[in-house]
């Protein structure tokens, strides 16, 4: 998934990283809980509503300013997820590209479960990319 954002890369990176590396905004606290925080690495719990329930995943998040954010699942509904936000572009626009890999076990049953999880995961990522775009463009207009 890729989204074009009318904001400089450093602004977009700040929007992505600040809830993890600084104080989590009140508006995100129902979705994000930083368990352990370092300079460029956090352990974070993500709370996602799905099928009337709240699923909690525990992920490591590593930051490479200003071009990448890496996510790796530690605990969640499937045994393997790695994701990356890559920030590219030049000038006043940024291209934010999401790439992810989800792996399951338990053969056919695992594939069915993985497909269900992937649908929710992709919708969550799309919503996240849109909120990043809106906030980064709002900050860029202020500057």
Q: Domain coordinates of the chain in residue numbers? A: 2-142
Give me the tens of pLDDT residue by residue for the chain, a chain 143 residues long: 999 999 999 999 999 999 999 999 898 999 999 999 999 999 999 998 877 888 899 999 999 999 999 999 999 989 999 999 999 987 789 999 999 999 999 999 999 999 988 998 899 999 999 999 999 999 999 97
Q: What are phi and psi of 111, to 5 degrees?
A: -65, -40
Three-state secondary structure call for residue 31: coil
Euclidean distance between CA atoms 85 and 98, whole angstroms = 5
| Strand-by-strand arrangement of the 94-103 sheet | 2-5, 94-103, 80-88, 68-75, 53-64, 41-50, 32-37
pLDDT value for 45:
97
Euclidean distance between CA atoms 33 and 123, whole angstroms = 20
Euclidean distance between CA atoms 107 and 101, whole angstroms = 17
pLDDT value for 70:
98
Range list of β-strands (E), 1-139: 2-5, 32-37, 41-50, 53-64, 68-75, 80-88, 94-103
| pTM of this structure | 0.92
pLDDT value for 49:
80
Domain topology for 2-142: Alpha-D-Glucose-1,6-Bisphosphate; Chain A, domain 4 (3.30.530)
pLDDT value for 93:
95
Give the residues across from 44 on adjacent strands: 34, 59
Euclidean distance between CA atoms 77 and 56, whole angstroms = 8
pLDDT value for 50:
74
């Amino acid at each position: 998934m890729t989204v074009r954002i009318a904001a400089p890369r450093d602004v977009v990176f700040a929007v992505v990283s600040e809830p993890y590396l600084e104080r989590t905004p009140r508006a995100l606290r129902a979705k994000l809980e930083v368990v352990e925080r370092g300079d460029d690495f956090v352990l974070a719990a993500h709370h996602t509503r799905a099928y009337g329930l709240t699923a909690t995943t525990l992920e490591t998040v590593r930051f490479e300013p200003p071009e990448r954010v890496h996510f790796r699942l530690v605990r969640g509904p499937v045994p393997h997820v790695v994701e990356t936000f890559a920030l590219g572009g030049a000038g006043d626009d940024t291209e934010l590209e999401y790439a992810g890999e989800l792996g399951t076990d338990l053969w056919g049953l695992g594939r069915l479960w993985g497909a269900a999880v992937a649908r929710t995961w992709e919708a969550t990522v799309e919503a996240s990319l849109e909120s990043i775009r809106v906030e980064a463009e709002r900050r860029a207009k202020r500057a």
